[in-house]
Structure 1
Amino acid sequence: MLAKQSVKERHILACLSSSPSSLSVIRAASSAAEVYHCRFTALCVLRHLKEIDPGMAANIAAAEQAGAQVQQIQGSDVISSIADFAVVNHVSDVYIGKSGPPRSFGFHKQPYVRLMKALPRTDIHVIPDAEVILTPSHLHQHAHIHLTLAETGKMAAIMGIATIICALFYHSRYSNDNIITIYLLAVLVTSVVTAERIYGVASALLFVFLFNFLFIEPRFTLMVYDPYYIVTYAVSMIAALITSSVAARLKQSTRVAMESADQSQVLLDASELLQHAVDADDIIRITSNQLVQLMGRSVIFYPVQERKLAKPLYFPASQQETPLPDEREAAEWTLANNHRSGAFTSEFSQCQCQYLSVRVSEQMYGVIGIRMQGRPLSEFEKNILLSLIGECGLSLENNENNKRREKMEIVAENERFRANLLRSVSHDLRTPLTSISGNASNLVNHADVLSEQQKQGIYADIYDDSMWLIELVENMLSVTRLEEGSCLHPSVEVVQDVIDESLKHVDRHIRDHHLNVIKDNDFTMAEMDVRLISQVIINLVNNAVKYSGKGSDITIQTKRDHDLIWVQVKDNGPGVAKEDQPHLFERFYTGHHKIADSQRSLGLGLNLCQSIMKAHGQQLVYQDNVPHGACFCFSLHVKELTDELV
């Protein structure tokens, strides 16, 4: 043996079989893995991945319980398969069982002897067990030969066609060497197209018999006088053995490649579906349905809520499935211990389902149960299951992260809103409040020296400032209600009546402008929240008063367009600068131009109007008024006068 590898490079491999000696192998390998804190793998080599006997299944469960990563591979030569796996995976120590005494006369070498020769750089640990003398290890068992009528028919057809062709050559002027070539080709073809190595050997024997019986003198006898043909027979046998071995390896590699491709496609499809999942329930449904379709087994999923199992979700493989018994105790054990339980495991083995945790690192998102139907999972099914569970866990984690991020964004947005509101209110309320308190102080202390005209001016200033404050408070209250998702209170009203009523509450400075109301139809009715739509009209008219000079024209016009009625508020003031137009409806945006009445705006009015219109399913739109000025318009759904509305 060569020097030991370093601890970081160690990789311990335990060879499993259906023999009881595997339990000793597992214990020894597990103890070594704990000492060296290294990678621990358990390997079982199967003739067919779907054929696992109860002894092998029990040993696989014991290996998993010991903390090993179990790998199942397909192969007819167990020792060669173990050696190949050890080389590819850089195994440093192999633990193998010694099952009983050597064969009679020493004609057959013990498996560990072959393994030592195949792995000269690897430490081989042989674990003896007296119990295995009566129960030989699977490593000593010869591969079972599976003969089928179809494969036998292929061989017979190929050799029959070859015999007919050879008969044609025999009665022609060509030599017997061509006949030998044709039969050799038939042997090679049989080795390639059949599944078992025995068919290649059988076709070689059949070639010897047919060639000797039909084409060698004396014909129709089995006597051979020429030693040349003996060499030919030996070569054909060797060629058949080599070709059948190579063909078997190629077919096994092809099957493994196809399974890997299928697994990759399944994971790709599942990932694509999970990317479009909208919530945790959707993720669980997609994952469970994928498992049901791929494995043909029923699935039960226990979501984890507040570190406890919630109500399970059941996904049957067919409508005829019998309901599952209550196995919640096994699922709770998996949640508590973060380890599989249920059928074909050491915990709750009497259950019908096998339960696995759905987690990312130490965060548990659920427990999934697979109905085993009396048979363990194949390696392909196990890989698919673990991969899909991993995808499900990552998707659930991303979903939780998105929820947390959305909550944090809402909190951050609310904090920004409060900060901006407090900053703006604390700054902008100072001017009107100072004006109100100063004017009130003048009236209190100097009323006797003020003329009537001066008093009326002070009264008007106090009124204007108080109305500005009332408008501000109304806007802030409306914004708050809309932010909190307050429902609309729609009713069907005459549009022109709502406009007329709104104009009674606009800025008193409207008298310094030319107000025009153009009516399309006095009795056009629309569905709206009257209070909110009135607030939109008041804000738009007040904006026109603020941002256009005295003597400007302000026009309110209604137009019917099919099932919509449009309301336009226009002025011929300076309009809105191009650089300000994209930001008109942003909260707290006040633009760069000077306000006509020298009062500063908080930038809530247009944002509130847009929010109100969106709540009605409409939009507030800005247009330049030709030749100059601003035009704001919005639409409402028309309601025709019916008996229900009368």
Structure 2
Amino acid sequence: MDRPDPRSLLEKIKDEESKLKRGQLKVFFGYAAGVGKTYSMLESAQNLKKYGVDVVVGYIEPHTRPETLSLLDGLEILPVKEIKYKTIDLKEFNLDAALKRNPELMLVDEFAHTNVRGLRHNKRWQDIEELLLAGIDVYTTVNVQHLESLNDIVEIITKISVKETIPDRLLDNSTQLELIDIEPDVLLQRFNEGKIYKKDQALKAKDNFFIKDNLIALREIALRKTAERVNKEVQISRLSKGEVTVIPTSDTIMACVGPSPSSTKIIRTASRIAYSSLSKWIALYITTPESNNLNETQRNQLKSNLDLAKKLGAEIVVLHGDNLVEQIIRYAKMRNVTKIVIGRNHSNHKFINKILKKDVVDKLIEEVYHIDVHVIPYKSGTKDKYIIKKENSIKSKFKITYIDFIKLSIITIISTIIAYSLRSIGFASENILLIYILNVVFISVCTKGYTSGIISSILNIILINYLFTEPLHTFSIDDPNYIITLLVFCIVGITTSTLTSRIQHQAETYSKREENTQMLYQISRSFLRVSSKEDIINKGLELLFISLSRDVVCYTKSNSGNDLILFEENRNLSNKLVNDDEKAVASWVLSNATIAGKSTDTLPGSKGYYMPIIGINSTLGVIGISCYEKELDNEDICVIEAIVAQMSIALDREILSQIKESAKNELEKERFISSLLRAISHDIRTPLAGISGTLSTIMKNKEEINDDLLYELIDGAYEDSQWLIRLVENLLSMTRIDENKLEVKKKLELAEEVISSSLNHIKRRIENMDIEINIPNDPMFVPMDAKLIEQVLINLIDNAIKYAGEQCKIKINVYEKNNQAQFEVCDNGPGIPSENIKYVFDRFFTGEVKCSDSRKGVGLGLPICKSIIEAHKGEIYSINNKQKGATFGFNLPMHHEGGLEIE
């Protein structure tokens, strides 16, 4: 077997490494327009071009500054993409042309720019990420006000809400950050000289943005942000060099978010804390029974808040519970959270509220001891929305349905009948009170909300007073003690109904939590029972279809890597995800290992939501979920992530299993080669030595050797050469079998001719042998590959001669039985030891019987016979004769499926 060329392996490894190479990003960072970011970027590009770097200008924002435009001289400028939007002609960065050009360095101005609708990505930073994934280095520019986590601070300073933002994660440690800074007075002077904006833009900016106080504040934020970055790099560098003996664990931040617009402030604050402290952070949302009453606006706001948290790098966690404080503390302890960021609405936090009821923040501060609580104050401008929400929540608790009213009426009537019966029998009035208390409990259990229990309590007081309290059938009470009794009864009834309803809510919450836990358990368990790639993908699609009730598809790469293989699970006759446009989206996701499609900022015009299946070393596939009926919510995405994660683990396991199996096969081949070399080394050397000795004797003594001796010597050399030929043929056949290259070309052959041809090949070896051939009188045609069957017969006859010796008698029988052609080779040798019969067709098995043949053999002849017969869909066997010797036989089907070649 040929071993791989080390050079080719190295080239392959280098090629794979180049594919995995990610481009480097350098950001020219400033605190306002006009500080010189673009100028510095172009100046750096010109310097790199002098050193031979392939630099291309992808997009530069049009400027009126001659000194900036002059730096474009000598640089290759990529044509922009012109798009007509409404009545305006817009010029955008041409991403596809940039990828096709594939330079070493691409200059793309305005990192936070929002692309026009219809392009692949909504944001320019997403275009730049795709360039980086393609291995292209990128230079870009951005101002501090465009960082997402600083958006609210910038709005407070400038009174301007910046809409174009980038996630802070883009300025991570792998990004080069160069601060471009000038004094605010110098910037204002340049602004007044018209070097920053055109005249109409300048007038607007002067009143709103370019104020000295604003610029000083923005400059401070930019300097602090850069200082944080430098400090982070120093710390990482120091730790990586092992200069400290103890490395403290980083903080874990948890932000408590909800459907309030003010949650965006909480999210951004938590992001800033996490970024400055090199820590991970979690965005926690707790669904309560009241969460079902959120209106459409609140649901959209909640989704927007969670999307913002995910965009800023948070881990999204959704829990189910009734007690917010308990859930927050429990999860914080489980995740080792060190800081909790939570909001408080000061407009509702008044003195009376403090006395009557503590809010979540106060309870949280009282309960936690080792966790820092950061309270983010706000005065809600959307107060009415939350009054509506609370009113909806209260209405949901105190509303009563027709069914609940019917249940209340039936149980009350039954209780009254039972009370009348007890009174007529003579039981005391205290027992009647117990009956009605039991009535309240039954009603609270059988109905939902608090209303039924409270109405039941009040109604029971009225019935007891009217029907069972003296004077009867009036609402007056003679005995004042009954007033206290009835009042206590009312309080007990209301309290009982309230507690029972609360227990019902908690039971629903725990049931939901158990349902989610069971779902995750079933998901993980489902993939333990599947093994092949196709089964894993189909199981994942089945689980997604059952869980989401949506059409789902999966795309994976073919073995050649040039095409995508589609798997789908759909409930419709036509799956809208199966078309060229959606396939293009899936292909992009597969190449870039990034989520795209509906509800995302990348290719949002798609009809599906596409998530990559990311394995250990590569992207294994793409899952697509239909969104043409409605968009996915956060719970749906959590389910998708859970199932896709299990699919990824299962597919990686299958890949590792295949690699292990391949390595095992390679090891078996290596062992086979080693065993083969050991086995044939002696057997090849012996006949070669005989041939060499014979020829040497003839050459040295040719004058003295008579004709009889010469013939004997040549005959011996010929026998040795024939043995070598058979050995080589067997080796070549075994090689073809191992490589699955054994081709069987069946034709209708006359059995008598195949036997005759086989004997003719070894006629010199069987000259003095007693051979008996028994064949049918009528011609017997059998579908077979004649050359291969001749090799089988030669090996079987050669095996019989080897063990039977000089007195060998061979009988060859051919007959038809059960629509099978039977071939048998019988000898009169010593037979096969009973313990060896099951091993005779194993490789390298040669038996322990001594034979007259000096060449023992390598144990390949019979295994080759077995492989050839099995390739013919036949069977081969060996048995000992009753008298003496052994019989080796095989059968071949008389009929062949499909067409036959007939000569």
In the other structure, the counterpart of 1:310 is 564
Shift of 1:602: 2.6
Provide closer, same or farther for how the CA distance between residues 352 and 409 of structure 1 changes in structure 2, counting only shifts above 3 A: same
Secondary structure (helix, strand or coil) at the match of 1:617 reads coil
Provide the rounded CA distance (Å) in 2 between the counterparts of 1:508 and 1:138: 109
Provide closer, same or farther for how the CA distance between residues 33 and 578 of structure 1 changes in structure 2, counting only shifts above 3 A: farther
In the other structure, the counterpart of 1:296 is 549
Provide the rounded CA distance (Å) in 1 between the counterparts of 2:334 and 2:659: 44
Q: Does 1:515 align with 2:771?
A: yes
**TM-score normalised to structure 2 length:** 0.64
In the other structure, the counterpart of 2:724 is 469
Q: Does 1:195 align with 2:451?
A: no
In the other structure, the counterpart of 1:28 is 269
Q: Percent of aligned positions with the same letter in both sequences?
A: 28
Q: Does 1:60 align with 2:306?
A: yes
In the other structure, the counterpart of 1:3 is none
Secondary structure (helix, strand or coil) at the match of 1:567 reads strand
Contact kept, 8 Å, 1:575 with 1:629, in 2: the verdict is yes
Provide closer, same or farther for how the CA distance between residues 515 and 129 of structure 1 changes in structure 2, counting only shifts above 3 A: same
**Amino acid of the structure 2 residue aligned with 1:247:** Q
In the other structure, the counterpart of 2:715 is 460
Match among 486, 493, 496 for residue 239 of structure 1: 496
Shift of 1:554: 1.6
Contact kept, 8 Å, 1:358 with 1:393, in 2: the verdict is yes
Shift of 1:88: 5.9
Provide closer, same or farther for how the CA distance between residues 421 and 181 of structure 1 changes in structure 2, counting only shifts above 3 A: same
Provide the rounded CA distance (Å) in 2 between the counterparts of 1:604 and 1:575: 19
Provide closer, same or farther for how the CA distance between residues 321 and 527 of structure 1 changes in structure 2, counting only shifts above 3 A: closer
**Amino acid of the structure 2 residue aligned with 1:203:** S
Residues 332-371 of structure 1 correspond to what in structure 2 (within 5 A)?
Answer: 335=590, 338=593, 340-345=595-600, 347=602, 351-361=606-616, 363-371=618-626
Shift of 1:530: 1.0
Provide the rounded CA distance (Å) in 2 between the counterparts of 1:477 and 1:424: 15
Q: Deviations over 1:343-399 (max 9, x none)?
A: 4455555544333221234532122122244243363x4454333212211222123
In the other structure, the counterpart of 2:287 is 46
In the other structure, the counterpart of 2:689 is 434
Contact kept, 8 Å, 1:309 with 1:366, in 2: the verdict is no
Q: Does 1:536 align with 2:792?
A: yes
Shift of 1:137: 6.0
Q: Does 1:607 align with 2:863?
A: yes
Provide closer, same or farther for how the CA distance between residues 10 and 177 of structure 1 changes in structure 2, counting only shifts above 3 A: farther
Contact kept, 8 Å, 1:569 with 1:633, in 2: the verdict is yes
Match among 118, 128, 143 for residue 377 of structure 2: 128
In the other structure, the counterpart of 1:631 is 887
Provide closer, same or farther for how the CA distance between residues 414 and 361 of structure 1 changes in structure 2, counting only shifts above 3 A: closer
Shift of 1:563: 0.5
Secondary structure (helix, strand or coil) at the match of 2:470 reads coil
Shift of 1:80: 5.1
Provide the rounded CA distance (Å) in 2 between the counterparts of 1:257 and 1:185: 31
Residues 234-633 of structure 1 correspond to what in structure 2 (within 5 A)?
Answer: 234-272=491-529, 274-275=530-531, 278=532, 280-304=533-557, 310=564, 313-319=567-573, 322-323=576-577, 326-327=581-582, 331=586, 335=590, 338=593, 340-345=595-600, 347=602, 351-361=606-616, 363-372=618-627, 373-377=629-633, 379=635, 381-484=636-739, 485-506=741-762, 508-633=764-889
Provide closer, same or farther for how the CA distance between residues 579 and 357 of structure 1 changes in structure 2, counting only shifts above 3 A: same
Provide the rounded CA distance (Å) in 2 between the counterparts of 1:138 and 1:495: 98
Provide closer, same or farther for how the CA distance between residues 79 and 425 of structure 1 changes in structure 2, counting only shifts above 3 A: closer
Provide closer, same or farther for how the CA distance between residues 360 and 116 of structure 1 changes in structure 2, counting only shifts above 3 A: same
In the other structure, the counterpart of 1:152 is 405
Shift of 1:400: 2.0
**CA RMSD, Structure 1 to Structure 2 (Å):** 3.4
In the other structure, the counterpart of 1:212 is 465
Secondary structure (helix, strand or coil) at the match of 1:391 reads helix
Q: Greater relative contact order: 1 or 2 (C-alpha under 8 angstroms, separation 6 or more)?
A: 1
Provide the rounded CA distance (Å) in 2 between the counterparts of 1:159 and 1:120: 50
Q: Does 1:96 align with 2:345?
A: no
Provide the rounded CA distance (Å) in 2 between the counterparts of 1:207 and 1:84: 41
Contact kept, 8 Å, 1:79 with 1:139, in 2: the verdict is no
Provide closer, same or farther for how the CA distance between residues 247 and 343 of structure 1 changes in structure 2, counting only shifts above 3 A: same
Q: Does 1:19 align with 2:272?
A: no
Shift of 1:324: 6.6
Contact kept, 8 Å, 1:15 with 1:96, in 2: the verdict is yes
Residues 69-88 of structure 1 correspond to what in structure 2 (within 5 A)?
Answer: 69-76=315-322, 78-79=324-325, 81-83=327-329, 85-86=331-332
**Amino acid of the structure 1 residue aligned with 2:340:** V
Q: Deviations over 1:420-475 (max 9, x none)?
A: 44454444222222222222232233222112221121121122112112222322
Contact kept, 8 Å, 1:494 with 1:522, in 2: the verdict is no
Unpaired segments of 5 or more residues in structure 2?
1-246
Provide closer, same or farther for how the CA distance between residues 234 and 286 of structure 1 changes in structure 2, counting only shifts above 3 A: closer
**Amino acid of the structure 2 residue aligned with 1:490:** K
Contact kept, 8 Å, 2:615 with 2:649, in 1: the verdict is yes
**Amino acid of the structure 2 residue aligned with 1:32:** I
In the other structure, the counterpart of 2:83 is none
Q: Deviations over 1:593-645 (max 9, x none)?
A: 333121231322112111111111122211122233222110122359xxx98
Question: Which 10-residue stretch deviates more, 531-540 or 585-594?
Answer: 585-594
Provide the rounded CA distance (Å) in 1 between the counterparts of 2:564 and 2:387: 44
Secondary structure (helix, strand or coil) at the match of 2:762 reads coil
In the other structure, the counterpart of 1:173 is 426
Secondary structure (helix, strand or coil) at the match of 1:555 reads strand
**Amino acid of the structure 1 residue aligned with 2:272:** S
Secondary structure (helix, strand or coil) at the match of 1:636 reads strand
How many positions carry a matched residue from both structures? Answer: 634
Contact kept, 8 Å, 2:804 with 2:827, in 1: the verdict is yes
Provide the rounded CA distance (Å) in 1 between the counterparts of 2:835 and 2:845: 12
Shift of 1:54: 0.5
Provide closer, same or farther for how the CA distance between residues 558 and 251 of structure 1 changes in structure 2, counting only shifts above 3 A: same
Contact kept, 8 Å, 2:339 with 2:371, in 1: the verdict is yes
Q: Deviations over 1:296-330 (max 9, x none)?
A: 01213232569998355443332265457835676
Provide the rounded CA distance (Å) in 2 between the counterparts of 1:488 and 1:70: 61
Q: Deviations over 1:168-195 (max 9, x none)?
A: 3344422221221111001111222223
In the other structure, the counterpart of 2:234 is none
Provide closer, same or farther for how the CA distance between residues 193 and 42 of structure 1 changes in structure 2, counting only shifts above 3 A: farther
**TM-score normalised to structure 1 length:** 0.87
Provide the rounded CA distance (Å) in 2 between the counterparts of 1:526 and 1:296: 58
In the other structure, the counterpart of 1:163 is 416
Question: Which 10-residue stretch deviates more, 128-137 or 117-126?
Answer: 128-137
Shift of 1:512: 3.4
Contact kept, 8 Å, 1:187 with 1:203, in 2: the verdict is yes
Provide closer, same or farther for how the CA distance between residues 307 and 500 of structure 1 changes in structure 2, counting only shifts above 3 A: closer
Shift of 1:76: 4.8
Provide the rounded CA distance (Å) in 2 between the counterparts of 1:82 and 1:198: 30
Provide closer, same or farther for how the CA distance between residues 65 and 605 of structure 1 changes in structure 2, counting only shifts above 3 A: same
Provide closer, same or farther for how the CA distance between residues 495 and 413 of structure 1 changes in structure 2, counting only shifts above 3 A: same
Provide the rounded CA distance (Å) in 1 between the counterparts of 2:654 and 2:852: 51
Contact kept, 8 Å, 1:342 with 1:351, in 2: the verdict is yes
Unpaired segments of 5 or more residues in structure 1?
1-5
**Amino acid of the structure 1 residue aligned with 2:404:** E
Shift of 1:51: 6.9
